[in-house]
Structure 1
Amino acid sequence: TLSWVFFQMSAVGPMFGQLGFFLRWGGKDYEDKRPRQRYIDESKRILEILDRRLEGREWIVDNYSIADIATLGWVNALSESYAAGDILGLSNYSNIQTWLGRGLARPAVQRGLQIPARPV
């Protein structure tokens, strides 16, 4: 479990967060598109790792854990906040899609999603 939490902290969060910056907020201000492409490519690589891990599993580890909790929001943000689903081909990661749907259906996650959004 700790290994997957560290995977989230060292790869998922930083890379998906930077991708979100380039796609949603600051990317249009940069003439050089190589940094943006770097985060797209790295995010795809991370999604491939996660999709392989979820093959034949309901959750990242044995049961729903902090690894799922820590990762779920970032994966959901790819489509919901960053509009990166098409760029990353997120729908092609079937194991992730099944896991994401399962996680988003949890009552506590549903309650968390109802928290009002921060002003833009």
Structure 2
Amino acid sequence: MAEMKTYTPPKVWTQDADSGGRFASINRPVAGPTSEKDLPVGKHPFQLYSLATPNGVKVTVLFEELLAAGHTGAEYDAWIINIMEGDQFTSGFVSANPNSKIPALMDHSGDKPQRVFESASIMLHLAEKFGAFIPETPSDRTEMLSWLFWQMGSAPYLGGGFGHFYAYAPEKWQYPIDRFTMEAKRQLDVLDRHLAENEWMAGSYSIADMAIWSWYGQLVLGRLYDAAEFLDVTSYKNVLRWAETIDARPAVKRGRMVNRAFGDDLSMQLRERHDASDFQTKTQDKIEAAEG
């Protein structure tokens, strides 16, 4: 590990060219749009604007689970938002999500379009609209909401904390890596202890499982930050059992593919999704084979 450099904060912080490291081109200390561009709108009631990061995967997994459960009204168009190119700062996207973070949803199923932003809010909106993947009993519903919001509060330590300093920071610094590794492992232990006595996070399979799996399940399956060995994920046996069970669900596999534009396996990339048949005909391997 490189030795930590001493930093004396100025009286008033200002952004410089090095602020943000790998993400300097898209990090900025102000909100609002940087360009004028409308969002595309497809044929379905739900228009999703996203990318297959863990927060994006939460929502596409839920959409695919709803469709697999027979909720045909949950058909959706999924448009890719390239965050490394600043698509999240266009006027159209900022109108859908003033916080300029994926995912954002426009629901056209009612009398007027309804924007929904923040992944947990989108999941609750859809689960309540279709009466699916949300517990019916007050006790289980409360437990589910507690775990859903546990994920929302905890994942920034995993992503912006551990993931950033372990995988993305321009230099390896021991203090922040140690600090956030301890917290990531503590969170995994919280899950492991709960799942030792429960098959699912709250009663039956729910949006809490989907949301938590998108971060912690994929982490223990070796898909985030190339950190599985470093975090000794095999020691969290209950989390692994739960993660593998969810990963085997066909709807989850489809959800992982939507808005995916990275990775070596082009057959797992469905950059836009407008119909169920797209999974068979429009994955990136088939598109490139047709073009070649």
> Residue 65 of structure 1: which of 197, 201, 206 is its match?
206
User: 1:81 Cα shift?
Assistant: 2.5
User: 1:52 Cα shift?
Assistant: 0.4
Please say if 1:14 is aligned against 2:139: no
Secondary structure of 2:230's counterpart equals helix
Look up the match of 1:81: 224
Secondary structure of 1:80's counterpart equals coil
Is the Cα–Cα contact under 8 Å of residues 157 and 183 in structure 2 kept in the other structure?
Answer: yes
Please say if 1:105 is aligned against 2:248: yes
User: 1:119 Cα shift?
Assistant: 5.0
Look up the match of 1:36: 177
In structure 1, stretches of 5+ residues that fail to align are: none
Higher mean alpha-carbon deviation, 44-53 vs 74-83, is at 74-83
Higher strand share: 2
Secondary structure of 2:201's counterpart equals coil
Whole-angstrom distance in 1 between the partners of 2:215 and 2:205? 16
User: 1:34 Cα shift?
Assistant: 0.6
> Residue 25 of structure 1: which of 168, 182, 189 is its match?
168
TM-score (norm 1): 0.88
In structure 2, stretches of 5+ residues that fail to align are: 1-143, 264-292
Higher helix share: 1
Whole-angstrom distance in 2 between the partners of 1:118 and 1:72? 20
TM-score (norm 2): 0.38
Is the Cα–Cα contact under 8 Å of residues 165 and 173 in structure 2 kept in the other structure?
Answer: no
User: 1:25 Cα shift?
Assistant: 1.2
Look up the match of 1:114: 257
Q: Identity over the aligned pairs, expressed in percent?
A: 37
Distance change (3 Å), C-alpha of 1:37 and 1:109? same
User: 1:2 Cα shift?
Assistant: 0.7
Give a deviation string over 1:46-105, Cα, whole Å, max 9, x none.
000000000132211110111101100101442212111111111110100000001111
Q: Between the two structures, name the one with larger relative contact order (CA 8 Å, sep ≥ 6).
A: 1
Whole-angstrom distance in 2 between the partners of 1:57 and 1:39? 27
Whole-angstrom distance in 2 between the partners of 1:25 and 1:7? 25
Distance change (3 Å), C-alpha of 1:22 and 1:98? same
Q: Which amino acid aligns with 2:248?
A: A
Look up the match of 1:92: 235
Whole-angstrom distance in 2 between the partners of 1:32 and 1:90? 22
User: 1:45 Cα shift?
Assistant: 0.4
Secondary structure of 1:34's counterpart equals helix
Displaced runs of 4+ in structure 1, greater than 4 A?
none
Q: Which amino acid aligns with 2:201?
A: I
Higher mean alpha-carbon deviation, 77-86 vs 60-69, is at 77-86
Distance change (3 Å), C-alpha of 1:30 and 1:103? same
User: 1:116 Cα shift?
Assistant: 5.2
